[in-house]
Amino acid sequence: MDTPLDDTDRRILAVLQLQGRITNAELSERVNLSPSACHRRVQRLEDDRIISGYVALVDARRLGKPTTVFVEITLESQAEDLLDAFERAVARVPDILECHLMAGTADYLIKIMAEDTEDFARIHRQHLSRLPGVRQMQSSFALREVLKTTALPV
């Protein structure tokens, strides 16, 4: 980051995280800046990669994928070549939304959205069971989403 964030930058980020499609005029009014100053700040936040992109958040339920499954994976070893092979393979599985290298009992935690248990069984059979170097896998089905946000506290 080239320039440290000030309170105005933080207000801009807070608004954009909740309303990514807000116009510059509306944003400038919300953060109490002129439109040109607001635009320059947003451009700087993008150039510094503090804002890494803009997306549409899609409702998984409405797309027929209401089942959230978290899969803990333990590998046979932590050898660098095995970690690399595993991560390359995971990146090719379209059903995997997130994959995190973990500290703790499991090596990786994966998040998958599925239609139902049968759909997850298909994903497991076609993709997860074929991932390289897997020693153990444990799947947990979410019963209910209690809190979900993409907005980071700024």
pLDDT of the residue at 1: 57
Neighbour count for residue 145 (Cβ, 10 Å): 10
- Taking the C-alpha atoms of residue 13 and residue 50, their distance in angstroms, rounded to an integer, is 9
Kindly state whether residue 54 falls inside one of the protein's structural domains: no
Closest CA to 142 of 51, 65, 27: 65
Q: Domain with 24 in it: what CATH number? A: 1.10.10.10
Q: What is the mean pLDDT of the chain?
A: 96
Question: pLDDT tens digits for 77-110?
Answer: 999 999 999 999 999 999 999 999 999 999 999 9
Residues 42 and 77 in one domain: no
Global pTM value:
0.89
Question: pLDDT tens digits for 43-79?
Answer: 999 999 999 999 999 999 999 999 999 999 999 999 9
How many domains does the chain divide into? 2
Kindly tell me the burial class for residue 115, based on how many C-beta atoms sit within 10 Å of its own C-beta (0-12, 13-18, 19 or more).
Answer: middle
- Domain limits at 27? 7-47
Give the whole-number percent of the chain exceeding pLDDT 90: 97
The 8-class DSSP code of residue 125 comes to H
